[in-house]
Chains A and B, each alone.
Chain A
Amino acid sequence: MEPQFDAVQSLKSIESNYGPQVAREVVQIFISDYPGKIAKLKSAIEQDNFESIRFQAHDIKSGCLSMGLKPMSSICETIERDGMKMSREELQKMADRLETDYTEISRSYGDYLNLKH
């Protein structure tokens, strides 16, 4: 069984490589911008707009990769690569999963930053 993803660990890694200020800045962008990005992806899925689906998935993947958020980046990678072959329902499930991951990660980030600072 795959070990559970530890969002706080990825944040600590950013802190150690770039410093606490950058980690805080990145978390703020993640919390404020990602609901909009996921909403855009969901809207593109609703409209079967594959060009936009691919673009939005790539955009989220790219940011998540930089933040070390592997579960979210791999969902987006699958959508970006195989989205054309997937049904709308399958894509919607993946976008829902992305949203759940976002909620969990942002909660972990918030808890960690509140506890620490």
Chain B
Amino acid sequence: MMPTVLAVDDSKEIHPFLKTALSQTCSLLLAGSLKEAEEILAKNEVHLILLDVSLPDGSGFDFCTTLQSQDSTQKIPVIFLTGKVGVGDKVLGLALGAEDYVTKPFDVLELRARVESKLKKFLYYAKEETYFQRGSLKFELSTYSIYLNENNGNQKLNMTPIEFKLLLKLARSPGYVLSREQLIDSVWGDSVYIEDRSVDRHISSIRKKLGTCSSYIRTVPGLGYQFLAEQQH
């Protein structure tokens, strides 16, 4: 199956160029605004985003930041495709986490090569990461399951989806202290109001379920929580 690329650009005259450039590389979805892009992302599995900067309902730079902050989209590579040719814009785009920055007019072969290169990398890592291991815990990403590896056996832990996301967020940054606010933004999103105490309750429940590994999560008073790296156990 061909990978899917979403191109967000309100200039209709660009669309025929993109279709020709990428027709043999991917299945191309076109959005003329950020709202349309959001709708497409909600309904489709997208493997790469070509993003214009100036769009009728907002800035591609801001949208890139939003994509990076959401679990469901943060791994999708973004290539800016824009008429903004200033060095400052290029630096900003790359600093926001874009994989590449291509200016208009683009060369058909060059754009195709850049898209293919990023897709190859993305699909390789997506294939690789079906699970994630930290200490005695194995996270099965596709099923939101966590297994505790003890005494040469795997015991499945009965975590809720929220608990899975919280623990995964902490485990992905071992040693780092994450504030309750960071955890809320990452797990529930920043448009939902969740009380700090709610995080504490979930952490308490996770600890109980972790059993002998409950000490993996350390409370840092006044700051938040820390996942202790495996070598510390």
Cross-chain contact B10 with A59 (CB below 8 angstroms): yes
Residue from B19, B20, B54, B106 within 8 A of A58 (CB atoms): B54
Cross-chain contact B20 with A30 (CB below 8 angstroms): no
Residue from B52, B54, B108 within 8 A of A17 (CB atoms): B108
8 A Cβ contacts from A1-49 to B: 17-19, 22, 25-26, 29-30, 33
Distance in angstroms between the alpha carbons of A85 and B55 in the assembled complex: 23
8 A Cβ contacts from A42-87 to B: 55, 58-59, 61-63, 65-68
A-side residues, CB < 8 A to B, are 17-19, 22, 25-26, 29-30, 33, 55, 58-59, 61-63, 65-68
Give chain B nearest CB distance to A70 CB in angstroms.
10
Q: B88 to chain A: which residues have CB within 8 Å?
A: none
Cross-chain contact B17 with A62 (CB below 8 angstroms): no
B-side residues, CB < 8 A to A, are 10-14, 16-17, 19-21, 52, 54, 56, 82-84, 104-106, 108
Q: B83 to chain A: which residues have CB within 8 Å?
A: 58, 61-62, 65
Cross-chain contact A62 with B11 (CB below 8 angstroms): yes
Are A62 and B82 also in contact (CB < 8 A) when A26-B13, A33-B12 are? yes
Are A65 and B105 also in contact (CB < 8 A) when A58-B54, A58-B83 are? yes
Cross-chain contact B10 with A65 (CB below 8 angstroms): no
10 closest A-B pairs by beta carbon, nearest first, are A62-B83, A25-B16, A22-B16, A29-B13, A63-B11, A65-B104, A63-B13, A18-B20, A65-B105, A58-B54
Cross-chain contact A18 with B17 (CB below 8 angstroms): yes
Q: A66 to chain B: which residues have CB within 8 Å?
A: 11, 13-14, 17, 104-106
Interface centre among B13, B54, B56, B104 (most CB of A within 10 A): B13
Closest to B9 in A: A62
In the assembled complex, 29 residue pairs joining A and B whose CB atoms fall closer than 8 Å, in A order, are A18-B20, A18-B21, A22-B16, A22-B17, A22-B19, A22-B20, A25-B16, A26-B13, A26-B17, A29-B16, A33-B13, A55-B56, A58-B54, A58-B83, A58-B84, A61-B83, A62-B11, A62-B14, A62-B52, A62-B82, A63-B13, A63-B14, A65-B83, A65-B104, A65-B105, A66-B17, A66-B105, A66-B106, A67-B105
